[in-house]
C-alpha cells in the first residue's frame, strides 16, 4: 500500500496575549491509499488543528510554522493560495463537526451541492444538478430534498448531505472531524456504516478525527494518538486494542467502558493537560504519567519507528528498555 | 490614595476606555466647577453682537451679545446633569424590568416584553415631544423625567437576555437550593454578576439622554430660562448664525455634545470588550 | 409562496394593537399632562370664533366631562379621518396639513434609510472581512464618533459648508420659488436638488449604526462552520463573502432596519428644521412654537402610523428573503 498523504514534522502555532501557543508540535504520520486513519486525543490536543493545517483552513492567527505535507507526491505547504484553491475539494474535502452549522442556513441544499461542483468545473452547467441528484442517492436521501433548506432536515440528514457534498468531486482524501459527535447513537451508526460502505466503493482515504476512541477502534485501520500537540503513538487497530504501549494510550483506553469484556472500574487519567505556551521540559505527559522515569522530566522523547508502529516514550527507547530490564534485575536480586 | 486612583484608572479597560475616561473627567470638572471658571455671568447680555473669537471672548459672542464660552460652560452643567440623572432613571427602570422579566419568566416576562416590543415601534422622540409640549411648564427636572422614563426599552431587553443566560448558571441554582428568596437572588446574586453589562448599557443610555436633551431643546421644548448645548444650537440656528459666518457659535456646542457622548461610548465599548474576553461569549 | 397564515395574522395583529396603543396614548397623554383638554383642542382664543370652537367641542365630545364619552367620540372622529383643526393654519384641518407634509418626510427618510443601509452594509462587510485592519479600525472609530453627534448639528455644518461657503446646494426649502411654473422635468430636478443635502445628512447621521450592526453580524457569521466549509470547497472569495457571508449577516439586521426608521424620523424632525424643509418635522416645530396643540397631536399620530406601517411592510417582506422565518 503506497502512501497518499505524508505529514512530516508539521508544527502549527499561534500568537496569544500570553505568548506563542504551540498547538501542533513536530507531528509526523502518513495515510495510505484507501486507508482509514484515525487521530484521537482529548479536546485541545491539536487533532483538529492538524487537520486544518493539512487542508489550509487555519484561522488567523494560527499558522504553519514548519514541516511538510505531501499529497500524492505534491508538496502542499509551498503552494500559492490560488493553486491550493484548485486542489480544494477535488483532492481534499472535509466534513466538519456535526454539532456545528455545516450548511449555510439560507441556501437550498441543491445550491450548496452544486456550487462546489461548479466552482471547479464551470462547464458542467445542467449536468451539475444531475450529479447532485446522484450524490443524494448515494447517501440514501430522497432526491426531492435537494430543494429543501437545511433547517427542514434532521441532524442526521444534514450530516448525510455534508458527506454527499464531500464526495461531490471524488476526492482522494476526505478529512472527517467529529462527523457524528452530536448525533444520537442510532443515527450515528447508520452514518458510520454509510461512510465505511462508500469508502469501500470509491476507495478514497479518510483522516478520521474523534475523541470517541471505541468508535475509532471500530472503523480505523491505523490510529494516531495525540497529546498536547504531540503525536505520542501510531499503531494498527489490533496493536492498540491488544497491547497499547504509550502510558497515555493505556490511560485513554481505560477511560472508556469495554462493550464486551468484564465490567471494570474506569480509571481515567488524573491531572490536567499542560500549558501549551510553556510545555513541560521533558515528555509532555510526564506530570500525569504513573510510569515516568528520570529522563521523562528533562528529555522530550523522540517519535521512533519500530515494528509495532511509531512511539514517543522513553520506556520504549533502547536505553529505556535496558533500564527497565536493569531495574527489574535489581528487584530480583 | 495613590493606590485607589491607580485602581480606578485600571478599571477602565484598554486605550479606548482610558481615552474615554480622560474626556469624561474634563467635562465633569467643567460641570462641577464651571461657575468659577466661566469668565462672565450666566445669560449676561451687554457685549457687541457677532464678535469673532478674541482674547476677551475666546469663543466670540452671539447675536444677543452673550459670551459664547460662558454660555458653553453653563450649558455643560445642564447637559451633564440631564445625561447623568436621566441615564440613572433609565437604568433603574431598565434593570428592574430586565431582571424581573428574565428571572421570573412565564406570563410576567411575556407581558413585559410585549409592552417593550410595542413601545419600541413608536418613535421615542415623538412621544417625548407630545409629553413635553403638553406640560404646562418645562423645567430641567421635567426634561430629565421625560427622557428617563421613556428610554429604557432597549436596555430592558438587553438586561433580560443577559439575566436569562445567568439564570441557568450554577450559582443561581445553588442560591435557590439554600432557600434564598426570589428578590434576593435577583438583586444580590444576579445583579452583581451582570454589572459590566449594566454599566455598558448605562453608558449608552446616558449618551442617548444627552442627545435627546439636545433634540428637545433644539425643538424649543427645553427649560427656557436655562442654557444647555441644545439651546445654544437652537438659538444659533434660529438667528441664522451660518449667514453671519459665526462658526464660533455653531461648532463648540456640537463638538461638546459629540465628544461628551464619544467619551461615554468609548468607555462602554471598553467595558463590553473586556467582559466578552473574560467570559468568552458574545451573547450581548 | 412562503407565507403561512399564522405568521400573517400575528404580524397584522401586532401592527393593529400598536396602532391602537398609539391612538390611545395620543388621547390620554395630553389629558394627563394638562388639566383642560377642551381648551387645548378647541381654544376659542386660538380659533378666533366661539361658534367654531363649540362645533369642534361637540364633535370631539369635549362638552361632556365623561372621559369614556370623549374617548368614543375621539375614535369615531379619527375613523372619519378628522384630526381637528389647526390653530395656526386656520381653517385648514390638521389632516390636510399633515398629508401635505408627510410625502416630503417619507420621501427623504425612506431614501436615506435605504441608502444608508446599503452603504453601511458595504463598509461593514469590508471591515468584518479583515478585522483589525486599518480600514476596520478607522471605520469603527469614526462610527463611534458619528453616533455621538446630533443629526441637526450635522445638518447645520453641511449647510454651512456645502450651501453657504461652496454654494453647491440651496440654503433650504424643498423646491425652487418658481417651482409652479416649471416643466415636469425641471420640477423633478428642483425636488432632487433640494432634497440632496437633507438626505445626505440623514445618511451620514445613521450610517454609524448600520456599520456597527452589520460588522458585528458578519463577524459572527464568519466564525460559522459553513463559512469554513465554503472555503474548503474552493469557492471564490467574492462568492463566499456575498452569497455565504453577507446574506446571512444581512437578514437579522433587516428587521432592525425598519425599527431604526423611528429613530431616523426622530432625526428627520430636527434636520428638517435646519433645512426649512416642509415635512412633518417642520410642521411639528411650528406647531410647538405656535402652541398649536391639535397639530402636535396630529403629527404624533402621523409619525406613529408611518412607522407602524413601514414595520408591517418589513415584516411581510422578510419571509420572502429569509427562508427560515415563516416556518419557525
**How do residues B225-282 score in pLDDT, each as one tens digit?**
888 898 898 888 888 888 888 888 889 999 999 999 989 888 888 887 777 766 644 3
Average pLDDT of every residue of chain B: 84
Find the residue in B nearest to C163 (Cα): B242
Q: Cα distance from C229 to chain A (closest Cα, Å)?
A: 7
Q: Do B250 and C157 touch (CB under 8 A)?
A: yes
Q: Do A119 and C233 touch (CB under 8 A)?
A: yes
Chain A contacts of C327, Cβ < 8 Å? 151-152
Q: Do C226 and A97 touch (CB under 8 A)?
A: no
Task: Evaluate if residue A333 carries a pLDDT over 50.
Answer: no
H or E element, residue B133: helix B124-134
Rounded Cα distance between C292 and A219, Å, is 82
Residues A324, A326, A331, A332, CA torsion sign: positive
Rounded Cα distance between A277 and A24, Å, is 12
Find the residue in C nearest to B238 (Cα): C274
In angstroms, what CA-CA distances link A86 with A113, A140, A169, B114, C234? 17, 29, 12, 52, 7
**In percent, how much of chain B has pLDDT > 70?**
95
Band of pLDDT at residue A69, cut at 50, 70 and 90: very high
Which range, A233-242, B58-67, B168-177, C232-241, has the best average confidence (pLDDT)?
A233-242
ipTM: 0.86
A297: Cα separation from own chain's centroid: 28
Rounded Cα distance between B20 and B22, Å, is 5
Band of pLDDT at residue B1, cut at 50, 70 and 90: low
Task: Evaluate if residue B88 carries a pLDDT over 90.
Answer: yes
Chains touching chain B, criterion 3+ CB pairs below 8 Å: C
pLDDT, residue C328, reads 45
Which of C33, C145, C157 has the CB atom closest to B262's CB atom? Answer: C145
Task: Evaluate if residue C39 carries a pLDDT over 80.
Answer: no
Quick one: average pLDDT of A118-147?
A: 86
Rounded Cα distance between C281 and C271, Å, is 8
Band of pLDDT at residue A265, cut at 50, 70 and 90: low
Q: Cα distance from A216 to chain C (closest Cα, Å)?
A: 23
Chain C contacts of B251, Cβ < 8 Å? 157
Which of B211, B221, B269 has the CB atom closest to C288's CB atom? Answer: B221
Quick one: average pLDDT of A264-290?
A: 77
Contacts of B252 (CB under 8 A, 6+ apart): B59, B68, B69, B72, B232
Find the residue in A nearest to C223 (Cα): A59
CB atoms within 10 A of CB A329: 9
Q: Determine which of A2-16, A164-178, A306-320, C84-98 has the lowest per-residue pLDDT on average.
A: A306-320
Q: A73-121, pLDDT tens digit by residue?
A: 889 888 888 888 888 888 899 988 765 578 888 888 888 888 888 888 7
- Window 64-123 of C: residues touching B by CB (8 A cutoff) are none
Find the residue in C nearest to B281 (Cα): C220
Rounded Cα distance between A181 and A184, Å, is 8
pLDDT, residue C186, reads 82
- Assess A103–C contact: CB distance below 8 Å, yes or no: yes
**Of C27, C139, C28, C18, nearest in space to C74 by CA:** C27
Q: Do B258 and C153 touch (CB under 8 A)?
A: yes
Band of pLDDT at residue C320, cut at 50, 70 and 90: confident
**Of C211, C207, C194, nearest in space to C115 by CA:** C207
Task: Evaluate if residue A8 carries a pLDDT over 60.
Answer: yes
Which of A59, A88, A101 has the CB atom closest to C226's CB atom? Answer: A101
Chain C contacts of A102, Cβ < 8 Å? 225-226, 229
**In percent, how much of chain A has pLDDT > 90?**
13
Band of pLDDT at residue A326, cut at 50, 70 and 90: low
CB A270 within 8 A of CB A288: yes
With vertex at residue C42, the alpha carbon angle to CA C41 and CA C44, rounded to the nearest 5 degrees, is: 145
With vertex at residue C267, the alpha carbon angle to CA C264 and CA C271, rounded to the nearest 5 degrees, is: 125
Rounded Cα distance between B112 and B160, Å, is 10
Size of interface A-C (CB pairs under 8 A): 73
Rounded Cα distance between C232 and A165, Å, is 11
Q: Cα distance from C328 to chain A (closest Cα, Å)?
A: 10
- Window 247-276 of B: residues touching C by CB (8 A cutoff) are 247, 250-251, 253-254, 257-262, 264-266, 269
- Window 129-158 of B: residues touching C by CB (8 A cutoff) are 129-131, 133-136
Band of pLDDT at residue A37, cut at 50, 70 and 90: very high
Q: Do C266 and B237 touch (CB under 8 A)?
A: no
Beta strands in chain A (DSSP E): 3-16, 19-32, 36-40, 63-71, 74-75, 92-95, 173-177, 205-210, 222-227, 230-236, 304-306, 309-311
Q: A237-254, pLDDT tens digit by residue?
A: 888 888 888 888 888 888
- Window 100-129 of B: residues touching C by CB (8 A cutoff) are 117-118, 120-127, 129
Rounded Cα distance between C211 and C142, Å, is 10
**In percent, how much of chain C has pLDDT > 70?**
92
pLDDT, residue A99, reads 55
Q: Do C144 and B266 touch (CB under 8 A)?
A: yes
Q: Do B260 and C148 touch (CB under 8 A)?
A: yes
The residue behind cell 478529512 is: A175
pLDDT, residue A325, reads 59
Chain C contacts of B260, Cβ < 8 Å? 148
With vertex at residue A267, the alpha carbon angle to CA A265 and CA A271, rounded to the nearest 5 degrees, is: 160
Amino acid at each position: 500500500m503506497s502512501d497518499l498523504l505524508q505529514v512530516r514534522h508539521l508544527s502549527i502555532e499561534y500568537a496569544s496575549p500570553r505568548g506563542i501557543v504551540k498547538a501542533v508540535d513536530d507531528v509526523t504520520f502518513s495515510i495510505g491509499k484507501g486507508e482509514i486513519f484515525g487521530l484521537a486525543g482529548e479536546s485541545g490536543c491539536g487533532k483538529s488543528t492538524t487537520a486544518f493545517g493539512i487542508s489550509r483552513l487555519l484561522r488567523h492567527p494560527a499558522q504553519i510554522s514548519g514541516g511538510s505535507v505531501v499529497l500524492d507526491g505534491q508538496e502542499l505547504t509551498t503552494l500559492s493560495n490560488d493553486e491550493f484553491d484548485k486542489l480544494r475539494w477535488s483532492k481534499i474535502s472535509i466534513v466538519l463537526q456535526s454539532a456545528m452549522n455545516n450548511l449555510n442556513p439560507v441556501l437550498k441544499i441543491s445550491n450548496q451541492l452544486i456550487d462546489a461542483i461548479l466552482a471547479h468545473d464551470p462547464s458542467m452547467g445542467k449536468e451539475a444538478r444531475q450529479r447532485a441528484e446522484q450524490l443524494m442517492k448515494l447517501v440514501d436521501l430522497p432526491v426531492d430534498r435537494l430543494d429543501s433548506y437545511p433547517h427542514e432536515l434532521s441532524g442526521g440528514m444534514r450530516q448525510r448531505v455534508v458527506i454527499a457534498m464531500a464526495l461531490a468531486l471524488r476526492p482522494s482524501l476526505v478529512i472527517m472531524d467529529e462527523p457524528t459527535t452530536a448525533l444520537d447513537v442510532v443515527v450515528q451508526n447508520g452514518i458510520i456504516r454509510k461512510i465505511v460502505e462508500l469508502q469501500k466503493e470509491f476507495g478514497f482515504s479518510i483522516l478520521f478525527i474523534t475523541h470517541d476512541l471505541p468508535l475509532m477502534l471500530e472503523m480505523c485501520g491505523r490510529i494516531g494518538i495525540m497529546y498536547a500537540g504531540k503525536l505520542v503513538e501510531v499503531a494498527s487497530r489490533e496493536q492498540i486494542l491488544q497491547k497499547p504501549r504509550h502510558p497515555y494510550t493505556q490511560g485513554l483506553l481505560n477511560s472508556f467502558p469495554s462493550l464486551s469484556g468484564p465490567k471494570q472500574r474506569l480509571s481515567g487519567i488524573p491531572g490536567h493537560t499542560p500549558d501549551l505556551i510553556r510545555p513541560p521540559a521533558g515528555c509532555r505527559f510526564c506530570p500525569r504519567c504513573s510510569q515516568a522515569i528520570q529522563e521523562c522530566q528533562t528529555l522530550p522523547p523522540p517519535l521512533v519507528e519500530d515494528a509495532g508502529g511509531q512511539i514517543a516514550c522513553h520506556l520504549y527507547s533502547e536505553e529505556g528498555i535496558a533500564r527497565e530490564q536493569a531495574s527489574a534485575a535489581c528487584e530480583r536480586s | 490614595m495613590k493606590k485607589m486612583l491607580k485602581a480606578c484608572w485600571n478599571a477602565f479597560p484598554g486605550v479606548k476606555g482610558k481615552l474615554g475616561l480622560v474626556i469624561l473627567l474634563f467635562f465633569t470638572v467643567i460641570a462641577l466647577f464651571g461657575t468659577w471658571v466661566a469668565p462672565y455671568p450666566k445669560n449676561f447680555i451687554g457685549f457687541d453682537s457677532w464678535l469673532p473669537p478674541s482674547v476677551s471672548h475666546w469663543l466670540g459672542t452671539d447675536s444677543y451679545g452673550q459670551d459664547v464660552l460662558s454660555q458653553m460652560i453653563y450649558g455643560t452643567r445642564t447637559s451633564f446633569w440631564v445625561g447623568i440623572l436621566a441615564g440613572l432613571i433609565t437604568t433603574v427602570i431598565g434593570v428592574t424590568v430586565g431582571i424581573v422579566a428574565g428571572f421570573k419568566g412565564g406570563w410576567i416576562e411575556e407581558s413585559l416584553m410585549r409592552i417593550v416590543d410595542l413601545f419600541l415601534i413608536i418613535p421615542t422622540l415623538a412621544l417625548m415631544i407630545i409629553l413635553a409640549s403638553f406640560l404646562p411648564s418645562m423645567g430641567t427636572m421635567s426634561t430629565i423625567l421625560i427622557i428617563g422614563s421613556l428610554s429604557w426599552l432597549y436596555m430592558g431587553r438587553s438586561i433580560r437576555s443577559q439575566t436569562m443566560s445567568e439564570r441557568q448558571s450554577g450559582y443561581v441554582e445553588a442560591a435557590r437550593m439554600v432557600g434564598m428568596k426570589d428578590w434576593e437572588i435577583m438583586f444580590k446574586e444576579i445583579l452583581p454578576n451582570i454589572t459590566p453589562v449594566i454599566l455598558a448599557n448605562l453608558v449608552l443610555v446616558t449618551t442617548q439622554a444627552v442627545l435627546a436633551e439636545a433634540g428637545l431643546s433644539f425643538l424649543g421644548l427645553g427649560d427656557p430660562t436655562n442654557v444647555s448645548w441644545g439651546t445654544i444650537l437652537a438659538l444659533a440656528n434660529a438667528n441664522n448664525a451660518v449667514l453671519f459666518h459665526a462658526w464660533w457659535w455653531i461648532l463648540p456646542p456640537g463638538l461638546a455634545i459629540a465628544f461628551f457622548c464619544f467619551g461615554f461610548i468609548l468607555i462602554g465599548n471598553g467595558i463590553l470588550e473586556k467582559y466578552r474576553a473574560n467570559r468568552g461569549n458574545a451573547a450581548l | 409562496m412562503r407565507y403561512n397564515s399564522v405568521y400573517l395574522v400575528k404580524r397584522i395583529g401586532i401592527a393593529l394593537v400598536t396602532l391602537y396603543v398609539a391612538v390611545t396614548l395620543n388621547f390620554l397623554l395630553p389629558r394627563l399632562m394638562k388639566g383642560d383638554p377642551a381648551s387645548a383642542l378647541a381654544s376659542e382664543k386660538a380659533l378666533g370664533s366661539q361658534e367654531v370652537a363649540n362645533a369642534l367641542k361637540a364633535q370631539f365630545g369635549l362638552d361632556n366631562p365623561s372621559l369614556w364619552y370623549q374617548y368614543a367620540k375621539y375614535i369615531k372622529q379619527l375613523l372619519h379621518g378628522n384630526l381637528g383643526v389647526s390653530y395656526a393654519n386656520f381653517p385648514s384641518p390638521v389632516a390636510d396639513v399633515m398629508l401635505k407634509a408627510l410625502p416630503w418626510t417619507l420621501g427623504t427618510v425612506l431614501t436615506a434609510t435605504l441608502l444608508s443601509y446599503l452603504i453601511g452594509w458595504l463598509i461593514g462587510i469590508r471591515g468584518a472581512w479583515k478585522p483589525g485592519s486599518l480600514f476596520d479600525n478607522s471605520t469603527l472609530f469614526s462610527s463611534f464618533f458619528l453616533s455621538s453627534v446630533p443629526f441637526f448639528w450635522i445638518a447645520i455644518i453641511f449647510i454651512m459648508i456645502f450651501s453657504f461657503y461652496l454654494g453647491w446646494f440651496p440654503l433650504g426649502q424643498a423646491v425652487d420659488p418658481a417651482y409652479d411654473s416649471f416643466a415636469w422635468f425641471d420640477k423633478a430636478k428642483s425636488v432632487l436638488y433640494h432634497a440632496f443635502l437633507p438626505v445626505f445628512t440623514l445618511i451620514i447621521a445613521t450610517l454609524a449604526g448600520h456599520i456597527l450592526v452589520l460588522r458585528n453580524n458578519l463577524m459572527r457569521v464568519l466564525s460559522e462552520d459553513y463559512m469554513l466549509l465554503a472555503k474548503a470547497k474552493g469557492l471564490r472569495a467574492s462568492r463566499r463573502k456575498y452569497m455565504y457571508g453577507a446574506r446571512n449577516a444581512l437578514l437579522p439586521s433587516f428587521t432592525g432596519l425598519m425599527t431604526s426608521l423611528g429613530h431616523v424620523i426622530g432625526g428627520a424632525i430636527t434636520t428638517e428644521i435646519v433645512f426649512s424643509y416642509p415635512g412633518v418635522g417642520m410642521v411639528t416645530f411650528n406647531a410647538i412654537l405656535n402652541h398649536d396643540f391639535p397639530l402636535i397631536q396630529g403629527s404624533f399620530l402621523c409619525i406613529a402610523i408611518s412607522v407602524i406601517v413601514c414595520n408591517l411592510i418589513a415584516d411581510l417582506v422578510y419571509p420572502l428573503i429569509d427562508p427560515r422565518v415563516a416556518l419557525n
